[in-house]
Homo-oligomer: A and B are copies of this chain.
């Protein structure tokens, strides 16, 4: 970490600051220039409160040279992390297709969709049991009952399950779930992250709508610092001024996260765009950008032709997407 001191800082002020930093077990290397004095802080600076340091009267600015995340950092763990669930692998050159309905609605629905997406090559079944909804009056998911239906679909098809947790008090219900998802709105629910860090379940951590990539990695660090290294990062769109799409899918996140971290990175084009017809091109783009997996909404509701246009794909559309993804992956080799 580098602290640049303001022009006009007195020797006494500088000494005062240095002795404060040394009390935090840091070595301080002073570089006295004509216009500025620069302090190089050496040691474990991940514990230094950069904002506090930067706000001191005599400090012009502070700059990290090393990243504040350690366990998620590729510098300290050069090889890709590979997460295994059942026969599926994610990361390190292994690609995982996750698919399924937004919400679990009934046994028939979830099993039918599970069979359909498996037939089209999906490796993991997604489905929401606990649903974070903006409105308290909207359907909040089948909750515990939904989890049971997901496990039935797993028994039926052999597909591992990924589903979202909203509240640590429900953790027991997730005992047989393969991957626990933390939604975008909970990306900085630090107490939830810490508790999940005490499990050994793979955690699918979605980027928050207004969170930087560094903050996403810091949230992964919360999980990992408690002992659970099985974190999958997920880009799912950020909030911008553009209103045509629900969010703006930031595909450069895939490369950047791969650069900074050894963790696998997947992409959710369904929630990012909010429009079914944008899902296939954005899924293709995500794969070309190097994603280690996709998570796609698919539902099968022949009784209700009304829903054809939702952000979910039909099984037939998913089948086309899945084949296209396979071809792009071959082209990238």
Query: In the bound complex, do residue A42 and residue B35 qualify as a contact, i.e. CB atoms below 8 Å apart?
Result: yes
23 contacts between A and B (CB under 8 A): A4-B63, A20-B306, A27-B34, A33-B40, A49-B138, A55-B274, A55-B311, A63-B63, A68-B135, A68-B137, A136-B226, A166-B191, A167-B191, A168-B169, A185-B189, A209-B210, A210-B210, A210-B238, A210-B241, A212-B244, A255-B278, A281-B290, A327-B332
What is the distance, in angstroms, from A146's C-beta to the closest C-beta of chain B?
15
| Contact indicator A56/B308 (Cβ below 8 Å) | yes
CB pair B241–A245 under 8 Å, yes or no, is no
* A residues 109-132 in Cβ contact with B at 8 Å: 132
Known contacts A29-B31, A51-B311, A284-B288; 7 further A-B pairs (Cβ under 8 A): A20-B306, A49-B139, A56-B307, A214-B244, A240-B248, A241-B241, A285-B289
Measured in the bound complex, the distance between the Cα atoms of B195 and A170 in whole Å is 14
Asked if A331 is an interface residue, CB under 8 A from chain B, the answer is yes
Kindly state whether residue A98 has any CB partner on chain B within 8 Å.
no
Q: List the number of copies, as a whole number.
A: 4
Task: Tell me whether A16 and B212 are in contact (CB under 8 A).
Answer: no
**Docked complex Cα distance between A20 and B259 (Å):** 29
Structural contact, B242 and A332, CB atoms closer than 8 A: no
Asked whether any CB of chain B lies closer than 8 Å to the CB of A87, the reply is no
Q: How far is the CB of A40 from chain B (nearest CB, A)?
A: 4
How many Å from the CB of A127 to the closest CB on chain B? 17
> Could you tell me if A190 and B133 are in contact, using CB atoms closer than 8 angstroms?
yes
| Inter-chain contacts of A27 with B (CB < 8 A) | 34
Q: Are A137 and B285 in contact (CB under 8 A)?
A: no
A108 at the interface (CB under 8 A from B): no
User: A250 on the interface (CB 8 Å rule)?
Assistant: yes
Chain A: residues with CB nearer than 8 A to chain B?
2, 4, 16-17, 20, 27, 29, 31, 33-36, 38, 40, 42, 46-47, 49, 51-52, 55-61, 63, 65-66, 68, 132-139, 166-169, 185-186, 188-191, 194, 208-210, 212-215, 218, 221-222, 225-226, 238-245, 248-252, 254-256, 259, 272-278, 281-282, 284-290, 304-311, 324, 327-328, 330-332
* Given A212-B241, A243-B212, A278-B252, residue A308 in contact with residue B57 (CB < 8 A): yes
Q: List B contacts of A33 (CB < 8 A).
A: 29, 31, 40, 42
Cα(A241)–Cα(B40), bound, Å: 28
Give the CA-CA distance A212 to B38 in the complex, in Å.
Answer: 27
The list of the 5 closest CB pairs from A to B, nearest first, reads: A210-B210, A31-B31, A57-B309, A288-B288, A331-B331
Task: Name the CB-closest residue of B to A187.
Answer: B185
A240-B248, A282-B251 known; A38-B38 Cβ under 8 A? yes
Instruction: Assess A40 versus B51: contact at CB under 8 Å? Given A16-B306, A191-B167, A242-B212.
Output: no
- The answer on a CB contact under 8 Å between B190 and A132 is yes
User: B307–A52 contact, CB under 8 A?
Assistant: yes
Inside 8 A of A138's CB, which chain B residues have their CB? Answer: 47, 49
CA distance A14 to B245 in the complex (A): 26
State in angstroms the CA–CA spacing of A194 and B135 once bound together. 12
